[in-house]
Amino acid sequence: MMRHNSVAVIDYGMGNLHSVAKALEHVQPGVEVRVTSDSEQIRSATRVLLPGVGAIRDCMAEIRRLQLDRVVAEVVASGQPMLGVCVGLQALVDHSEENGGVDCLGLLPGRVRFFGDKLRGADQQRLKVPHMGWNEVHQNPHPMWRGIPQDSRFYFVHSYYVQEDDPGLVAGSCTYGVEFTAALARGNVFAVQFHPEKSHTAGLQLLQNFLNWDGSSTSA
Amino acid sequence: MGLAKRIIPCLDVDKGRVVKGVQFVDIRDAGDPVEVAKRYNEEGADEITFLDITASHEQRETMVHTVERMAAEVFIPLTVGGGIRSVEDIRTMLNAGADKVSINTAAIHNPEFVREAAERFGRQCIVVAIDAKRVADKPPRWEIFTHGGREPTGIDAVAWARQMAEYGAGEILLTSMDRDGTRDGFDLELTRAITDAVNIPVIASGGVGNLQHLVDGVLQGGADAVLAASIFHFAEHSIQDAKAFMAQQGVEVRL
């Protein structure tokens, strides 16, 4: 019998955390979801969700001001299953070129880049930025994708993307003018650029998988 | 394959009920907004847009509760508009569970509000709604109107779209006031003029009467998303029908 399932959704004052909390409660009624910035509550949860919207400079400033950088590093090291979402993915890598250059947490190798104002598609059509809407994610094998058909569409909204430094860590990729990292995974960390809580069936399945995940990248 | 064009059903809400005004006059009841949104969500809508058409102070609380109920059951992006005038209004709607807010009149009165909102909440959640009316034909020119198309502002629609994108709008919701409620199709020239003028996504709105109009909005107008109300509300077409038809006509959609 697994111990009581609880999720700490890390609250650092950036954006609406209601949606992701509601989506977790929807896929597993009875799951305990705590939206919190309290380090003890984060450490004691069975799993941790690192969300994020808005500009990286403000996100990183709040994460550091609330001393959540240390807590997130501890979670990564502890083996607690952790899901990063959107800017929550970007915050985990080394550096972002948004806001004139911002150092991120450096817990996964990679850099955050701007799509650019002159982005073009395969047939040279102009691509709008932000990348907003439903795009296909090509999955590499990982237990977090269980039950989700290959190349399913997820909802994205972002102007910056992660370029990984270690191709072995890419769990999912997406193409919008450039091929970029849609999901990055190492050990107990799985982080996505899209919004599972806004991605209907495929997204809800991913959240369900997160609630069942033991934090290993190979479990059946 | 790549980014799909979005189909967005629009719920015009008055006193907690979905209504659809034909050119903002004739009102028919189409039901409870949460029930309607759930149906669209199940049918495969890519987003839901929810417009408070009265936007009076007294109705604000009803609206917030409706957004809260909707956000607990509908797991696709939700845009809320109507009467968004302050940073506090935006915060209230985002906290209730909206993903984006649509700003219209307040941007016209004070364009800096858009800049402030984008800086505060991120441009991804700031939609600027543009209600445009054709004022000349050769060459075509459109102006921004307020009060449901009755009040001219003298502002050129294309220049306004550019300015709003520059101020931090993440998306433009473009409505042709000439076509809205007519079922004659989008003003494709207007749609094309705006999509060519800005580098942010444009949602075409106003005039959809059949599924071919949705296709035209994308392929001829260059829209990134198409918004419609009445063709979906009265069950003439399901979202699935619309998507299957669009896919057949060569539009990339999420099936």
Note if B12 is an active site residue: yes
CB-nearest to B224 from A23, A117, A128 is A128
H, E, C per residue of B213-232: HHHHHHHCCCCCEEEECHHH
Question: DSSP state, A78?
Answer: H
Q: How far from each other are the two terminal CA atoms of chain A, in whole angstroms?
A: 18
B124 in contact with chain A, both atoms CB, cutoff 8 A = yes
A218 to chain B, closest Cα gap in Å: 29
- Assess contact for B19 and B53: CB atoms under 8 A: yes
Question: Is the pLDDT confidence value at A215 over 90?
Answer: yes
Q: Which H or E run includes A73? A: helix A68-78
Confidence at B59, pLDDT banded by 50, 70, 90: confident
Residue A181 is which amino acid? Answer: T
* Alpha helices (runs of H) in chain B, residue ranges in sequence order: 33-43, 60-71, 87-96, 105-109, 112-121, 157-167, 188-197, 211-219, 230-233, 239-248
Which tokens hold the place of A181?
Answer: 């990292």
Write the burial class of residue B145 (CB in 10 Å: 0-12 exposed, 13-18 middle, 19+ buried). Answer: buried
Task: Select the more confidently predicted residue: A4 or A109.
Answer: A109
Contact A200 B1 (CB under 8 A): no
* pTM reported for the whole predicted model: 0.94
Model pLDDT for residues A137-163, shown as the tens digit of each residue: 999 999 999 999 999 999 999 999 999
Q: What is the DSSP letter of B251?
A: -
Q: Does residue B121 carry a pLDDT above 90? A: no
From A23, A121, A156, residue closest to B75, measured CB to CB: A23
Determine whether A104 is an active site residue: no
Active site residue B241: no
DSSP string, A49-69: EE---S-HHHHHHHHHHTTHH
Residue among A53, A128, A204 minimizing CB distance to B201: A128
Q: How confident is the model at residue B115 (pLDDT cuts 50, 70, 90)?
A: very high
Q: Is the pLDDT of residue B81 over 60?
A: yes
Q: Tokens 């932000």, residue?
A: A130
Q: Which residues have CB under 8 Å from B167's CB, separation 6+? A: B111, B112, B114, B115, B118
The fraction of chain A above a pLDDT of 70, given in percent, is 96
- What is the per-residue pLDDT for B55? 64
Q: Average the pLDDT over B175-204 and give the result.
A: 96
pLDDT (average), residues B184-207: 97
Distance, in Å, from the CA atom of A189 to the CA atom of A38, rounded to the nearest integer, reads: 20
Report how far Cα A150 is from the mean position of its chain's Cα atoms. 19
DSSP, collapsed to helix, strand or coil, labels residue B210 as: coil
Q: What is the nearest CA distance from B78 to chain A, expressed in angstroms?
A: 9
Mean pLDDT of A170-190: 97
Per CATH, the homologous superfamily of domain A6-212 is Class I glutamine amidotransferase (GATase) domain (3.40.50.880)
> Taking a C-beta distance cutoff of 8 angstroms, is the pair A80, A48 a contact?
yes
Secondary element (H or E) of residue A22:
helix A18-27
Complex ipTM value = 0.92
pLDDT of residue B150: 86
Indicate the pLDDT class of residue A42, thresholds 50, 70 and 90.
very high
Give the pLDDT band (50/70/90) at residue B244: very high
Averaged pLDDT of chain B: 90
Q: Is B222 an 8 Å CB contact of chain A? A: no
Share of chain B above pLDDT 70, in %: 94
Name the minimum distance, in Å, from the CA of A78 to any CA of chain B.
31
Could you give phi then psi for residue B213, rounded to 5 degrees?
-60, -35
Query: In degrees, to the nearest 5, what angle opens at C-alpha A8 toward C-alphas A3 and A9?
Result: 150
pLDDT digits (tens, 9 = 90+) for B2-33: 899 999 999 988 888 887 643 333 335 557 88
A1 has a pLDDT exceeding 60: no
- Would you say B30 and B19 are in contact if contact means Cβ atoms under 8 Å apart? yes
- Taking an 8 Å cut-off on Cβ atoms, the answer to whether A130 and B200 are in contact is yes
CB contact under 8 A, A135 and B123: no
Chain A residue numbers with beta carbons less than 8 Å from the beta carbon of B73 are 26
**More confident call, A54 vs A178:** A178
- On the question of pLDDT at A50 being above 90, the answer is yes
d(CA B84, CA B103): 6
pLDDT for position B20: 61
Q: At residue A189, does pLDDT exceed 50?
A: yes
Average pLDDT rounded to a whole number, residues A174-191: 97
A99 and A55 Cβ atoms separated by less than 8 Å: yes
What end-to-end distance do the CA atoms of chain B give, in Å? 13
How is residue B167 written in tokens? 């101020």
Contacts of B234 (CB under 8 A, 6+ apart): B28, B30
CA distance A133 to A156: 5
d(CA B116, CA B123): 10
Give residue-wise pLDDT tens across range B131-175: 999 999 999 999 999 887 888 999 999 999 999 999 999 999 999
Residues of A with CB under 8 A from a CB of B: 15-16, 18-19, 22-23, 26, 53-55, 117, 121-122, 126-136, 151, 153, 155-159, 175-176, 195, 197-200, 203-204
Choice among A158, A164, A174, A195 that is catalytic: A195
Mean pLDDT (whole number) for A86-94: 96
Q: Is B79 on the interface with A (CB under 8 A)?
A: no
Mean per-residue pLDDT for B95-121?
A: 94
Contact B122 A130 (CB under 8 A): no
| Res. A217: pLDDT tops 50 | yes
| Domain range summary for chain A, segments of one domain joined by + | 6-212
Query: What integer pLDDT is reported at residue A167 of this predicted model?
Result: 94
Query: Which phi and psi angles does A166 have, rounded to 5°?
Result: -135, 100
